[in-house]
Amino acid sequence: PIDSDSLSPRAPERGGGARGCRARCSRRVCVLLGSLALVFLTSLFFSASLRGGVGFSYLEPPGWEESRRVKLVPSYAGAHRLSPAEASRAKTCGCPRCVGDPGVSDWFDENYDPDISPVWTRDNVQLASDVYYWWVMLQPQFKPHSLQQVLLRLFQVIPGRSPYGSWDPGRCLRCAVVGNSGNLRGAGYGATIDGHNYVMRINLAPTVGYEEDAGSHTTHHFMYPESAKNLAANVSFVVVPFKTLDLVWITSALSTGQIRFTYAPVKQFLRVDKDKVQIFNPAFFKYIHDRWTRHHGRYPSTGMLVLFFALHVCDEVNVFGFGADSRGNWHHYWEQNRYSGEFRKTGVHDADYEAQIIQRLAKAGKITVFPGK
């Protein structure tokens, strides 16, 4: 006989003839059947162990079944309320009630992201593509600008750093967010407002002549270019940018004075403390639009931007001057506006939905709202 692999003569098998052939076949059949039986039994036992039928627990670590089920559904922070004992151990500040305390409100915990920075800095200069395209369409421009070059020049004029550090469990940073509603007039909140660590004001917001109701102390003033005004040296100017040209303007207003017009006249030069200028982060802007106002209106109002800014840098947040006055008028505390309901009719902001968010935050114990007069 010839071996088909080696093409060389093959030695006769021991035992010879038909009897040797039958012996060889018998051994091969036994080996094959034994292998099949082993595979079958192994498969049977493995399948039974996965169903828990034979208790082969050493195949799986403890809790494997539970962890496997959990992976099939989203996992949200604050998906259950903490017990009072757990909540006391989870305190994030030294105030009686702290914004960052988990387990108080499922709705708040599911939407609140403590890791997103409200300030645009050198460290988070890159915007995600979805954030960038959403932001640049808020106020489209005819003249293109390179955002990276604009920011590079801007951060040569201002620090480009966030002054807000990590949470300190022993700290109680109390913040007043002061809106411009006419319900401040006659409310007498001035001393209460001034008693906060941070007092945050919005756009024009005069204090001279309104100290008794609106207070006189300001630490943060939030404005966009078209509403900007000069500020005292100890006040942080937080720029709320809606377009790249706004960043070009603040760089110019603090240096060369080249920009005098955006879509409206703007201050050519601005007297503010350069070291205290901060830029509102577009990613934080979109976070509020996505998570909190839920795309109601084209974008959130400046009041909502400031409120959530405070919720991310403060331990306790108290709110003044939001909403209508007692007669339902939406006007500023320093003026009598014949068109007091126009804010609700522009279609840019959804005032009613934003009011619901404020009420829900108050109900969750995350803010205290002072209703005014």
- The region, left, alpha or beta by phi > 0 then psi within -120 to 50, assigned to residue 329 is beta
Q: Which of 299, 312, 331, 333 is catalytic?
A: 299
DSSP 48: H
| pLDDT range class, residue 17, cuts 50, 70, 90 | very low
DSSP 219: S
Say what the pLDDT of residue 286 is.
98
Can you tell me which residue has the tokens 């931007």?
A: 305
pLDDT at 9 over 70: no
Say what the pLDDT of residue 149 is.
95
Contacts of 242 (CB under 8 A, 6+ apart): 135, 138, 139, 224
Least confident among 6-20, 114-128, 208-222: 6-20
Of residues 11 and 304, more confidence is placed in 304
Task: Summarize pLDDT for 46-57 with one digit per residue, the tens.
Answer: 443 333 333 322
Tell me which CATH code domain 88-370 carries: 3.90.1480.20
Classified as helix, coil or strand, 360 is: helix
17, containing H or E segment? helix 17-50
pLDDT at 44 over 60: no
Of residues 364 and 80, more confidence is placed in 364
Say what the pLDDT of residue 206 is.
95
What residue segments make up the domains of the chain, in order of their start? 20-73, 88-370
Binding site for substrate, by residue number, is: 139, 180, 203, 263, 299, 303, 323, 332, 349
* 241 and 280 Cβ atoms separated by less than 8 Å: yes
Of residues 119 and 145, more confidence is placed in 119
Least confident among 13-27, 83-97, 139-153, 298-312: 13-27
Q: How far apart are CA 69 and CA 300, in angstroms?
A: 38
Contacts of 332 (CB under 8 A, 6+ apart): 180, 181, 182, 204
Of residues 323 and 162, more confidence is placed in 162
Task: Summarize pLDDT for 263-306 with one digit per residue, the tens.
Answer: 999 999 999 999 999 999 999 999 999 999 999 999 999 999 99
Say what the pLDDT of residue 7 is.
32
- Average pLDDT on 8-34 reads 47
- Average pLDDT on 227-256 reads 96
| pLDDT range class, residue 336, cuts 50, 70, 90 | confident
Task: Summarize pLDDT for 55-108 with one digit per residue, the tens.
Answer: 322 232 333 233 322 222 222 233 334 445 444 457 889 999 999 999 999 999
Sign of the dihedral through C-alpha 225, 348, 319, 134? negative
Q: How far apart are CA 129 and CA 220, in angstroms?
A: 30
pLDDT at 210 over 80: yes
Task: Summarize pLDDT for 152-189 with one digit per residue, the tens.
Answer: 999 999 999 999 987 788 999 999 999 999 999 999 99
Say what the pLDDT of residue 144 is.
81
Task: Give whole-number Cα distances, 116 to 164, 201, 203, 286, 354, in Å.
Answer: 12, 22, 24, 11, 21
How many residues comprise the chain? 373
pLDDT at 21 over 60: no
Active site residue 299: yes
Q: How many CA atoms lie within 13 A of 46 on its CB side?
A: 6
DSSP characters for 241-292? -SSHHHHHHHHHHTTT----BSSSB--SS--S-GGG-EEB-HHHHHHIIIII
| pLDDT range class, residue 8, cuts 50, 70, 90 | very low
- Average pLDDT on 351-369 reads 95
